[in-house]
Structure 1
């Protein structure tokens, strides 16, 4: 369930003919993991190994899905309840921007972040 959206917008003039409009939101997803657990999931790329690391601080089964910017699912992994620190080999993905979605079930509210592979 999403809380009320609070949007902040700003305009940046890049060139005389190009204006970039940025929107930031302060909405937070509820229900991903128990509300008593704050910051229950950390997702980052290990710079040394190049793997995607998911640290789950809550003991529950969760699913990690990676999408390219066209919305195509390029990777999917289900992490068992006992695996609180998992590593996904993303070396097969080409360079670019991807969306990583972490959720306890496919249709539940999820944590979604952007990653860039160089």
Structure 2
């Protein structure tokens, strides 16, 4: 079943225990926030890390309450959810803390 396509999907990715920002050294952002197995490349623009995955732009912005992850473009919601789940798994391995993702739009 195909997911519903909407114009903007956003998640908040944060530490599960203290609801803070999962801190990753800036030298490791590209490796940790680009999920393995996805065909994405770095893209210029705002935020701490930005990717182009086909026709969709994924932007990561470090906020006091966590990483805001915004999807702009034609990505089904279920695919965006799988993308964020892969990022959460990589963050957990990187920093050794439980991470959660909450869809905010």
Instruction: Confirm or deny a common fold (TM above 0.5).
Output: no
Q: Which has the higher strand share?
A: 1
Q: Which has the higher contact order (CA 8 A, sep 6+)?
A: 2
Greater Rg by CA: 1
Q: Which has the higher helix share?
A: 2
TM-score when scaled to structure 1?
A: 0.33
